């Protein structure tokens, strides 16, 4: 690992993958320094200053709400060199595909009426605390208990009969796994999902119940992504990526359409971030129709792949270590990175304790039995990691509710967990 100076803090990066995004969304960005597989030059950025260039402003902005990664968190990141190794990463050499509002509308048509239009609830307590009108988009009530099935149905709709006959394979800590199993079952497609050995037993059981074969050979998220790619090569099954696929991203963008239609007065949307597929899809939809609406990503400090990549200008791998297992992506997608650079207004971080507080709030005050990953947006509002403008309408996405009872009890009441 190589030390990098970011925001006047010491941060430790994993070694980057050298190729840069080539899609138009990223073409106008300031190029990053040339890297070799094993070296990363020092980068110094002014404190609390980030480069953002949205399609409607095309300007540099300073954001006082950005939360820096402290030394104690940076020390928790660890990983290995990936450049040149065979596995998932060789697919990153492909040219990135443009994703626009037409693709999001096409995804909505492909999904049809097979999914729920999930409700939005107001939160008087969060509104009083922040001075904004805070709403909660309850995507935990979606089929399979999370938003992931939107992207999966969008992706499966693009497969040919020959591809469907070969079957599909996914990789996930649980929510995408269940979505792949569920979607494949609807389509009559054989499915296999690579999960890692520390994944939630409840999510493993649910994935099998939806009809997928579960592979548990991988010890951790990084190994799981590599194994999924290897199995796809060996078996000929079609990889349904959890976030770095244009049709997956377009499917997640349908959530953005719902929020704009249900709450046209919205001024900002806070989105949980793992690999970046959800925030990328929402940003594509929202910025195309309402470029004035802010799209804010929220990541755990201990699983901050998108934040790290945007801050350093390079795709990196991290070692996720967060209670928000639904956000345990070991890297942010290349499509997601390119879209985030162009359309996401900010990415903020929340600590493990702050995530716990957000989850307790949603359980106790809003009566939403969410998982930790679904609570990060609420945590950002509770703790001030993101401070909305007074009087604006803010939507916090509660992205999922697949949590084991013992996990939930350990967070809600540590003395009993």
* Catalytic site includes residue 5: no
The whole-number pLDDT of residue 17 equals 31
Domain range 148-239, CATH class: alpha beta
- Mean pLDDT by runs of 10 across the 417 residues of the chain is 31 33 36 27 27 28 35 30 36 70 97 97 97 98 97 98 97 94 97 93 93 95 94 96 97 98 98 97 98 98 95 89 93 96 97 96 94 97 97 98 78 65
- pLDDT for the residue 389: 96
Query: DSSP string covering 164-195, please?
Result: HHH-EEEE-SSHHHHHHHHHHHHHT--EEEEE
| Helix (H/G/I), strand (E/B), else coil: 186 | helix
The active-site residue, picked from 52, 137, 148, 287, is: 148
The three-state secondary structure class of 238 is: strand
Domain-by-domain residue ranges, the chain? 101-145+245-412, 148-239
Q: Secondary structure of the chain: what % helix, strand, coil (to 5)?
A: 40, 15, 40
Q: Does the annotation count 8 as an active-site position?
A: no
Predicted model pTM:
0.80
Instruction: Single out the catalytic residue among 191, 351, 366, 399.
Output: 399
**Structure token digits, residue 329:** 């992506």
Give the per-residue pLDDT at 314. Answer: 86
Per-residue model confidence (pLDDT) at position 405: 73
- Per CATH, domain 101-145+245-412 is 3.40.50.620: no
Q: Quick check: do 101-145+245-412 and 148-239 share a fold?
A: yes
Residue 273 CB contacts under 8 Å (≥ 6 apart), including other chains: 279, 297, 298, 299, 306, 307, 327, 332, 347, 376
107: nearest Cα among 248, 245, 273, 261: 248
Distance CA 10, CA 45 (A): 12
Rounded Cα gap, residues 45 and 65, in angstroms: 16
Bridge partners, 272 (sequence order): 298
């Amino acid at each position: 690992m190589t030390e990098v100076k970011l925001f006047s803090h010491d941060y430790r990066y994993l070694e980057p993958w050298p190729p840069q995004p080539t899609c138009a969304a990223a073409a106008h960005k300031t190029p990053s320094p040339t890297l070799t597989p094993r070296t990363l030059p020092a980068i110094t950025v002014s404190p609390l200053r980030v480069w953002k260039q949205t399609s409607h402003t095309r300007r540099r902005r300073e954001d006082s709400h950005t939360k820096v990664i402290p030394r104690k968190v940076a020390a928790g990141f660890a990983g290995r060199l990936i450049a040149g190794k065979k596995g998932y990463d060789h697919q990153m050499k492909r040219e990135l595909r443009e994703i626009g509002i037409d693709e999001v509308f096409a995804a909505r048509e492909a999904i049809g009426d097979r999914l729920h239009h999930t409700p939005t609830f107001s939160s008087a307590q969060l509104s009083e605390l922040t001075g904004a009108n805070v709403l909660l988009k309850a995507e935990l009530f979606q089929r399979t208990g999370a938003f992931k099935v939107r992207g999966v149905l969008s992706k499966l709709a693009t497969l040919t009969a020959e591809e469907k006959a070969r079957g599909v394979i996914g990789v996930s800590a649980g929510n995408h796994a269940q979505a792949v199993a569920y979607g494949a079952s609807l389509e009559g497609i054989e499915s296999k999902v690579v999960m890692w050995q520390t994944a939630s037993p409840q999510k493993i059981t649910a994935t099998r119940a939806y009809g997928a074969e579960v592979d548990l050979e991988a010890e951790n998220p990084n190994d799981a992504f590599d194994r999924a790619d290897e199995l796809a090569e060996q078996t000929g099954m079609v990889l349904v990526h959890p976030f770095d696929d244009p049709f997956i991203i377009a499917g997640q963008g349908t959530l953005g359409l719902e929020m704009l239609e249900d709450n046209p007065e919205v001024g900002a949307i806070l989105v949980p971030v793992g690999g970046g597929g959800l925030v990328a899809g929402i940003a594509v939809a929202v910025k195309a129709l309402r470029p004035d609406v802010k799209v804010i990503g929220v990541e755990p400090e201990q699983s901050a792949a998108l934040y790290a990549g945007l801050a350093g200008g390079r795709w990196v791998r991290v070692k996720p270590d967060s209670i928000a297992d639904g956000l345990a992506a070991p890297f942010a997608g290349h499509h997601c990175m390119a879209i985030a650079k162009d359309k996401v207004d900010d990415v903020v971080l929340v600590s493990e304790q702050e995530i716990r507080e957000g989850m307790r709030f949603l359980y106790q005050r809003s009566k939403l039995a969410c998982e930790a990953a679904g609570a990060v947006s609420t945590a950002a509002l509770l703790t001030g990691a993101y401070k909305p403008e007074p009087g604006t309408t803010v939507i916090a996405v509660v992205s999922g509710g697949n949590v084991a009872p013992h996990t939930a009890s350990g967070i809600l009441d540590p003395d009993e967990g």
